[in-house]
Structure 1
Amino acid sequence: MLQTIEAVIDIGGQIRLLEPIKLTKTKRALVTLLNNEDEPMMTGIENALLSEETLGKDWNKAEEDQAWSHLQ
């Protein structure tokens, strides 16, 4: 079962959970860093620009042109 637990990470990389957790065995975890309330969120255009190169690799394939050719 996936479970989300709120935590804070200090500048030294130490993680402090903000709520108690009980585990019966060692678990793997993923850490997603969120913006603080005083940090601006990225705008849609910034997200698009950061994605453009990676998505462009797929968009520019001949198979992609073939798949969408019926719409032209």
Structure 2
Amino acid sequence: MVIVNMHEARAQLSKLVERARRGEEIVIARAGQPVARLVPLRPARPPRPLGLYRGQIEVAPDFDTLPEQLLGAFEGSED
């Protein structure tokens, strides 16, 4: 971990970003107190393709059916 002051961070931002990209953690301090951390971004996960689990998951036929009493509790009527 490297600690740099605000002035140095402004002057050397490109170099600090490159160091962070390579995996180094950079802490930026103001008046000797850490205020920010520069770290590399994690790679984004690729989106899952539609239909990936088709045929592997089964929904019960009565999935949407709730007993009236329970449905009433959700809707605020306790009849």
Same fold (TM over 0.5): no
User: For the pair shown, which has the larger CA radius of gyration, 1 or 2?
Assistant: 2
TM-score, scaled to structure 2: 0.22
More relative contact order, 1 or 2 (CA 8 Å, 6+ apart): 2
Q: Which has the higher helix share?
A: 1
Q: Which has the higher strand share?
A: 2
